[in-house]
């Protein structure tokens, strides 16, 4: 069977009006003869009654910290509500549909509550529904353990659910419907003249997602790439073609003239600088941070100092560890990491120099840098983050 997985994000599911567009995309594919599996996020964003953040604050208000298993059970409700409502609406439109939780859709996970890993997808139930012409509407973001306990797959992971199901079902494709026209040269909320990219490679979009671009979850890109499933990012409210995510070799060259494809930012970083004379203590600090599951993002080791970056939410724990070791680092609390991604910069000299010059001309200090074959990242003071993206977007003529 020709199967298409379609995922609808929070803003797409938010209102009865926006769900009319959701219905339009599902029924159009169904009428074309495709077996459609819909995957849904919780309705609306922060502040909406059934949004994930609202459920989270409900747990916090009632008893501070919920146990991880109960927290996942609570957070999963948003998607379950969404699935039930949409399945009802599809049925009312005259097409048979069935709402499923992640577990009922066959997503078996480990017991790492909060960011569970999928161990296996049992497609039997989905295939049986599809065979009978029924549209499965799957609650995204969740799975279940062997014991039947509900787990969640990490924030924003409904995209991951969609890609996982598409790969397991050997679908023709997976469509991610959201509130922008596709993957853009930058977040349009940060850069007003950001442009939609007609196509982008799996590896570039993975880098963007991994470096903070919320438009798609990195695990979704990974799952689609592993299953070799073509992925498209589209706007729910339009019929525009969106961005096609394909293997690098399938690229149209005219579409990606600039050496940089897209720029993203990651807020909430903190930078610590320790004098290298304390080398033994620094090594001990790094190993204690690792023991607590605190990962180091950027790190540079110089003869006179060691500089590294962690998530700002881990700064308090890191400070306690420093205190235990009598280590007094200088701290830059509020930083943002700005990352330029582009497969064309591989092996091309001078890109970092152009980035450094553009930021210097805009009086934006670079606190730290890192580069890999297709990504260059610069840490800047948090207040300069959005402007740094704008400046680089202009310097590389991405608009
Ligand atoms: P959904 O609820 O549909 O999953 P998200 O908020 O997770 O939506 O992702 C869509 C948002 O991603 C957009 O509204 C946009 O602000 C943001 N975004 C960040 N980087 C990019 C980018 N490079 N291209 C497009 N959108 C981006
Ligand atoms: Mg999302």
Residues touching ligand 1 (Cβ under 6 Å) are 9-11, 41, 156, 178-180, 183-184, 186-187, 189, 208, 213-215, 262, 264
Residue 251's pLDDT is 54
Closest listed ligand to the CA of 45: 1
- Scanning the chain, the segments in alpha helix (DSSP H) are 10-13, 16-31, 52-63, 68-75, 77-92, 124-131, 158-168, 202-210, 218-226, 279-291, 315-324, 351-361, 385-395
Atom of ligand 1 nearest to the CA of 208: 23
- Position 254 pLDDT exceeds 60: no
Q: What is the mean pLDDT of the chain?
A: 95
Per-residue pLDDT tens over the stretch 114-170: 999 999 999 999 999 999 999 999 999 999 999 999 999 999 999 999 999 999 999
Tell me if 159 sits within 8 A of 176, measured CB to CB.
Answer: yes
Closest listed ligand to the CA of 43: 1
Atom of ligand 1 nearest to the CA of 190: 16
Q: Which residues surround ligand 2, an ion (CB under 5 A)?
A: 156
Distance 232 CA to ligand 2 centre (A): 14
Distance 213 CA to ligand 1 centre (A): 7
Tell me if 339 sits within 8 A of 207, measured CB to CB.
Answer: yes
Q: Locate 173 and state its tokens.
A: 């494709």
Per-residue pLDDT tens over the stretch 344-383: 888 888 999 999 999 999 999 999 999 998 999 999 999 9
> How would residue 304 be classed by pLDDT, with cut points 50, 70 and 90?
very high
Helical (H) or strand (E) element with 320: helix 315-324
Q: Locate 131 and state its tokens.
A: 């065979």
Give the pTM.
Answer: 0.94
């Amino acid at each position: 069977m020709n199967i298409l997985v379609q995922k609808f994000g929070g803003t797409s599911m938010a209102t009865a009006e926006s769900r009319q567009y959701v219905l339009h995309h599902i029924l159009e594919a169904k009428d074309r003869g495709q077996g459609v599996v819909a995957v849904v996020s919780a309705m609306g964003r922060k502040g909406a009654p059934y949004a994930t953040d609202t459920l989270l604050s409900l747990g916090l208000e009632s008893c501070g910290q919920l146990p991880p298993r109960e927290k996942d059970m609570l957070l999963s409700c948003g998607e379950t509500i969404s699935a039930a409502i949409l399945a009802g609406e599809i049925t009312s439109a005259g097409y048979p549909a069935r709402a499923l939780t992640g577990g009922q859709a066959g997503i078996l996970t480990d017991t790492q509550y909060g960011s569970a890993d999928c161990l296996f997808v049992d497609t039997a139930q989905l295939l049986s529904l599809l065979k009978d012409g029924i549209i499965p509407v799957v609650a995204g973001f969740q799975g279940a353990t062997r014991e039947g306990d509900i787990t969640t797959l990490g924030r924003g992971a409904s995209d991951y659910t969609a890609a996982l199901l598409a790969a397991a079902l050997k679908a023709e494709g997976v469509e991610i419907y959201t509130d922008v026209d596709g993957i853009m040269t930058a977040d349009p909320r940060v850069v007003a003249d950001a442009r939609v990219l007609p196509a982008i490679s799996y590896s570039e979009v993975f880098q963007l997602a991994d470096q903070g671009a919320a438009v798609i979850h990195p695990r979704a890109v990974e799952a689609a790439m592993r299953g070799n499933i073509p992925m498209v990012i589209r706007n729910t409210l339009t019929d525009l073609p969106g961005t096609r995510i394909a293997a690098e070799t399938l690229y149209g060259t005219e579409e990606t003239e600039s050496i940089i494809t897209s720029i993203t930012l990651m807020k909430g970083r903190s930078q610590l600088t320790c004098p290298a004379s304390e080398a033994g203590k620094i090594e001990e600090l790094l190993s204690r941070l690792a023991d607590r599951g605190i990962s180091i993002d950027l790190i540079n080791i110089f003869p006179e100092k060691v500089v590294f970056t962690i998530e700002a939410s881990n700064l308090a724990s890191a400070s306690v560890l420093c205190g235990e070791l009598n280590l007094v680092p200088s701290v830059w609390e509020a930083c943002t990491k700005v990352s330029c991604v582009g497969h064309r910069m591989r092996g091309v000299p001078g890109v970092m120099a152009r980035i450094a010059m553009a930021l210097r001309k805009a009086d934006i200090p670079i606190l730290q840098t890192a580069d890999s074959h297709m990504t260059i990242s610069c840490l800047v003071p948090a207040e300069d983050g959005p402007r740094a993206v704008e400046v680089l977007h202009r310097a590389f003529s991405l608009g």
